[in-house]
Amino acid sequence: MMWWGSDTNGWRRRMTAEWVPTSHGEPISVREFDALPVDTSHRYEIENGLLLVNARPAPKHSRALSRTVEQLNAQLPEGWEAFAEVEAEFSGRSPRRVPDIVVIPVEAAEQTRIRSDQIALAIEVATSGQSAVRDYIVKSREYAANNIACYWVIDLLDVDGDEVGLTIYTLEEPGKYTYGPRLSGTVVVSEPFPLKLDLNAIVGQRSVRR
């Protein structure tokens, strides 16, 4: 893995192809995956045709998800809603994914799983080097291949004391993302909707109002 600075907002994260992680599970079909018993203690996905099993998020990760969802839902236009950890149906070698956060039409929440073409925004939260590699490289390729227009990676890696960071990927042409510099602080965007995200507010202990 390589790190170097390349813009005035700090550093931009780059990773070499050698660091692409591989799944360690057994090959599994979509039919077999969908027939698995419910297990709320782990998160199951199909990655590159293999069963990927991860532990449930740690409190730091869960806090970032819930606070990000809260900020988004306070601003999204009518008919759209942000959800955490919803199973999604993709095309390709990873047909079952569970993005950390998705913004989808409210009616899609009634489905057993959402489709990639219903996702206006997908967000992953990286809290470790391994998850960062998967989010920045593997999932960015998959999400682009499924034509998800907007993809964000929020990182909580705390590299050299840096603040929480956000990298925004935009689908400039079918199947291919471009991405900008790592952002920090309060970020204002126009796509997929006009939104403002206070990155520093998604970490740290909850303040108690008296």
Q: pLDDT tens, 58-89?
A: 889 999 999 999 999 999 999 999 999 999 99
In a domain, 4, yes or no: no
Higher model confidence: residue 120 or residue 210? 120
pLDDT of 10 above 90: no
In a domain, 164, yes or no: yes
Give me the CATH number covering residue 82. 3.90.1570.10
pLDDT of res. 159? 57
Q: Residue 13's closest CA among 94, 149, 129?
A: 129
In a domain, 103, yes or no: yes
What average pLDDT does the segment 90-116 reach? 97
Band (155; pLDDT cuts 50, 70, 90): very high
Q: Distance between CA 69 and CA 74 in Å, rounded?
A: 9
Mean model confidence pLDDT for the chain:
87
Domain count, the chain: 1
- Rounded to two decimals, the pTM is 0.86
DSSP states of the chain: -EEEEEETTEEEEE--GGG-----S-B--HHHHHTSPP-TTEEEEEETTEEEEEEPPPHHHHHHHHHHHHHHHTTPPTTEEEEES--EE-SSS--EE--SEEEEEGGGGGSSSEEGGG-SEEEEEE-SHHHHHIIIIIHHHHHHHTT-SEEEEEE---GGGPPPEEEEEEEEETTEEEE---B-SEEEE-SSS-EEEEGGGGSSPPPPP-
In a domain, 13, yes or no: no
The gap from C-alpha 171 to its chain's centroid, in whole angstroms, comes to 15
What average pLDDT does the segment 109-135 reach? 94
In a domain, 51, yes or no: no
In a domain, 126, yes or no: yes
Band (126; pLDDT cuts 50, 70, 90): very high
Range of the domain at 142: 57-202
In a domain, 23, yes or no: no
In a domain, 75, yes or no: yes
Residues 6+ apart with CB under 8 A from 206: none
